[in-house]
Amino acid sequence: MPRHKHHNVYVIELSKDVLFEGKFKKCNPNYISGKPCVYVGMTGLDPDVRFDKHKAGIQSNRYVKQYGLRLLPDLYEGFNPVSYDEATQLEVEIGVDLRSAGFGVWQA
């Protein structure tokens, strides 16, 4: 694999309890009740390793550490691996697409 294509985008399902967080709720005014809440990120690591680091509190997003349930590979696997530039762009695009579909979305 070429060195420049070693980044991954990933999506983590969050517990619906995250909806009680004012900041999360404010960022998702068009959330449709019953749709998943997710965190969308990018990493130079394997998404499984990155998820474990989030849960362990290592360079963790607090919503993932507190509310992270599982990876949702069906929403990202087809994109990986990508270059850093592609990952930064895809991270935003996936978040926008999921939010427009009514998901609750958090991105760092």
Domain-embedded: residue 3: no
Domain-embedded: residue 70: yes
Q: Which range of residues forms the domain containing residue 24? A: 9-107
C-alpha count within 13 angstroms, C-beta hemisphere, residue 26: 3
Give the pTM. Answer: 0.94
Domain-embedded: residue 32: yes
Q: At 107, which helix (H) or strand (E)? A: strand 104-107
Domain count, the chain: 1
List, run by run, the mean pLDDT of 10-residue segments along the chain (108 residues).
80 98 97 98 98 97 98 97 96 98 96
Distance between CA atoms of residues 78 and 58, nearest Å: 26
Going by their DSSP bridges, the two strands 68-71 and 37-43 should be labelled as unpaired
**What pLDDT, on a 0 to 100 scale, did the predictor assign at position 1?**
47
Beta bridge partners of 43: 8
